[in-house]
């Protein structure tokens, strides 16, 4: 403890009291100015030999805390050289030459190459000016196009051997045009070479197309090749079509006994090998209903649906003058029997909307729509039955009647849903070769509206082929599997279609045997049957291949 002392002199008591008063005054003034926590201070005064202890409460002065001064740390100047902003590497520009033979893919090729590769692609005017070219020189193989020997569609010479074909390719022939398969048109047909067709994998002649590039462009070639392969691929659909099928009488009895293969056993290969096979079922189908009042009534047994499926049929028209021979109950039963066999019934239904509804099939990336109609005259025998009375309404089952305006409406509507449109037409006069006015009007209406093919039947005989605008009309394919007296000549119509429509068609002649079972024709019979079709077609002009 610290001891404070005063000096002794004569007036010590007075001095002590004065000092004490001054001290109290000072302490009181400090306490008044700032109340604060107090602490006890002891003052020792030496007034006598015995120290006297005096306690006073004094306000303690808080220790002043110096204000906090923000301290800024100086950042030394950056003496390093700043890195320059990287400049984007420019996209390499490449020029591509596409020859005139493939000019139809040019726009799509440039668009897709610029979208899906790391290069900027431009078209070159010629192969020497290009960095990369589509050519017949060695490089990256991107496409093999069959090279065909094309002859007029009605030429008798339609097949040869490979050696003769090679001679024609090398030396030419006045009747033959050697062209890529993609460039053939319906007025021409590709010759079969030792039995092989351009769509067969072992077809002998091809035109190879390669993607070639200058040294250093190997990556660009490898990147572009798959895109061009896709664009150059040209999907084709093969349709086989036949005329009237009636699986009652003899054929129906055989089917009912358990042999569903019998009706089509001798013609199965050309029917089953097509992508899509179509025909007209000229009878009711099932085992319900009663025969209506008309001259002839047919009803194929229920198992006939399985027979059609075994024969390769995918689409069956019911738009004909026998579909309701056993009433609407049998019609609806037959529709269900066909559906159970994965066969699409068209041209008839529970109401007008269903009867006129299309069936669309997707094959090889293409969508094909099928429609069917009937327009036949009133029967000239019996009670003069009028098939038009079977026309479906909004509330009653029936058929799609071939009213040209309605055909146009239906074809126009489905054209936004399908790439290709096929119309099946049951029309004309029985055993009359020229097409009737109603038959031609309905067929023309279909093509005018955008259909590509019209397949006809009803006359029970073969009829003409007409090239009409962008389409083909086969007015009548005759009977096919049909137990009926009459002309035995018939044919299977083969049609190959691509994105542009019909590429080619041809006939496989056949004969309807006694009892109704068809078989393929002999070479002599084939010549007669084809000659018959070509003769009937002479009344219609054949457009030039360039058109």
Write down the mean pLDDT value for the chain. 88
Q: What is the pLDDT of residues 8-56, one digit of tens each?
A: 444 444 333 443 443 444 444 444 444 444 444 333 333 333 343 334 4
Residue 71 above 80 pLDDT? no
Q: Are 383 and 292 in contact (CB under 8 A)?
A: no
Residue 247 above 70 pLDDT? yes
Residue 72 above 60 pLDDT? no
Q: What is the pLDDT of residues 405-443, one digit of tens each?
A: 999 999 999 999 999 999 999 999 999 999 999 999 999
Of 59-63, 332-336, 541-545, least confident by mean pLDDT is 59-63
What pLDDT does residue 65 have? 46
> What is the C-alpha to C-alpha distance for residues 387 and 296, in angstroms, rounded to an integer?
12
Contacts of 467 (CB under 8 A, 6+ apart): 186, 187, 540, 541, 542, 543
What pLDDT does residue 49 have? 39
Where do runs of H (alpha helix) occur along 397-490? 404-414, 437-449
Q: Say which residue, 24 or 244, is predicted with more confidence.
A: 244
Q: How many CA atoms lie within 13 A of 115 on its CB side?
A: 7
Q: What is the pLDDT of residues 340-366, one digit of tens each?
A: 999 999 999 999 999 999 999 999 999
Residue 527 above 90 pLDDT? yes
- Proportion of the chain in helix, strand, coil states, percent, rounded to 5: 30, 30, 40
Q: What is the largest CA-CA distance in the chain?
A: 174
Residue 528 above 70 pLDDT? yes
Q: What is the mean pLDDT of residues 295-324?
A: 98
What pLDDT does residue 467 have? 98
Pairing of strands 471-474, 453-457: parallel
Residue 256 above 50 pLDDT? yes
Of 51-55, 140-144, 467-471, 516-520, least confident by mean pLDDT is 51-55
Q: What is the pLDDT of residues 506-524, one digit of tens each?
A: 999 999 999 999 999 999 9
Residue with tokens 């003069």: 384
Q: What is the pLDDT of residues 109-121, one digit of tens each?
A: 999 999 999 999 9
Crossing angle of helices 106-116 and 218-232, in 10° steps, is: 130
Of 52-66, 141-155, 374-388, least confident by mean pLDDT is 52-66
What pLDDT does residue 76 have? 56
Q: Say which DSSP state 95 is in.
A: E
Structure tokens of 473?
A: 């009309």
Write the DSSP string, 370-385.
EEEEEE-PPPSSTT--
CA angle 238, 243, 244 (to 5 degrees): 140
Q: What are phi and psi of 133, to 5 degrees?
A: -140, 145
């Amino acid at each position: 403890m610290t001891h404070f002392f005063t000096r002794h002199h004569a007036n010590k008591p007075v001095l002590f009291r004065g000092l004490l008063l001054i001290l109290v005054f000072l302490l009181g003034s400090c306490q008044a100015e700032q109340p604060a926590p107090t602490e006890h201070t002891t003052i020792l005064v030496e007034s006598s030999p015995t120290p006297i202890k005096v306690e006073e409460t004094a306000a303690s002065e808080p220790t002043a805390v110096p204000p906090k001064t923000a301290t800024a740390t100086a950042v030394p100047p950056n003496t390093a050289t700043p890195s320059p902003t990287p400049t984007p590497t420019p996209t390499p520009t490449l020029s591509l030459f596409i020859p005139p033979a493939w000019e139809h893919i040019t726009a799509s090729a440039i668009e897709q190459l610029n979208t899906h590769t790391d290069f900027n692609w431009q078209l070159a005017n010629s192969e020497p000016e290009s960095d990369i070219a589509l050519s017949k020189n060695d490089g990256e193989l991107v496409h093999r196009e069959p090279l065909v020997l094309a002859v007029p569609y009605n030429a008798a010479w339609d097949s040869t051997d490979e050696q003769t074909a090679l001679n024609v390719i090398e030396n030419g022939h006045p009747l033959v045009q050697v062209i890529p398969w993609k460039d053939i048109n319906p007025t021409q047909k590709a010759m079969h070479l030792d039995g092989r067709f351009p769509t067969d994998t072992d077809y002998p002649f091809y035109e190879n197309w390669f993607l070639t590039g200058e040294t250093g462009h190997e990556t660009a070639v490898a990147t572009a090749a798959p895109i061009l392969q896709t664009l150059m691929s040209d999907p084709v659909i093969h349709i086989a079509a036949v005329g009237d099928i009636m699986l009652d009488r003899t054929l129906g009895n055989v089917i009912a006994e358990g042999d569903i293969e019998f009706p089509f056993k001798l013609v199965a290969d050309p029917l089953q090998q097509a992508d899509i096979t179509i025909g007209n079922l000229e009878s009711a189908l099932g085992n319900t209903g009663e025969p209506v009042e008309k001259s002839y009534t047919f009803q194929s047994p229920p198992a006939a649906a399985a027979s059609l499926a075994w024969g390769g049929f995918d689409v069956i028209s019911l738009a004909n003058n026998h579909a309701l021979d056993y009433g609407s109950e049998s019609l609806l039963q037959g529709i269900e029997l066909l559906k159970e066999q994965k066969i699409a019934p068209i041209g008839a239904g529970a109401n007008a909307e269903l009867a006129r509804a299309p069936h669309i099939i997707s094959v090889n990336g293409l969508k094909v729509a099928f429609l069917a109609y009937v327009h036949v005259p009133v029967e000239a025998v019996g009670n003069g039955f009028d098939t038009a009375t079977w026309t479906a309404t909004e509330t009653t089952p029936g058929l799609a009647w071939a009213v040209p305006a309605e055909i146009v409406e239906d074809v126009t509507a489905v054209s936004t849903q399908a790439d290709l449109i096929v119309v099946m037409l049951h029309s004309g006069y029985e055993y009359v070769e020229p097409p009737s006015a109603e038959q031609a009007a309905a067929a023309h209406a279909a093509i005018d509206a955008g259909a590509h093919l019209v397949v006809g039947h009803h006359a029970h005989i073969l009829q003409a082929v007409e090239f009409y605008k962008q389409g083909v009309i086969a007015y009548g394919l005759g009977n096919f599997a049909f137990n009926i007296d009459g002309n035995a000549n018939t044919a299977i119509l083969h049609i190959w279609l691509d994105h542009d429509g019909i590429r080619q068609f041809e006939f496989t002649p056949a004969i309807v045997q006694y009892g109704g079972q068809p078989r393929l024709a002999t070479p002599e019979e084939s010549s007669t049957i084809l000659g018959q079709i070509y003769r009937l077609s002479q009344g219609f002009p054949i457009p030039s291949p360039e058109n």
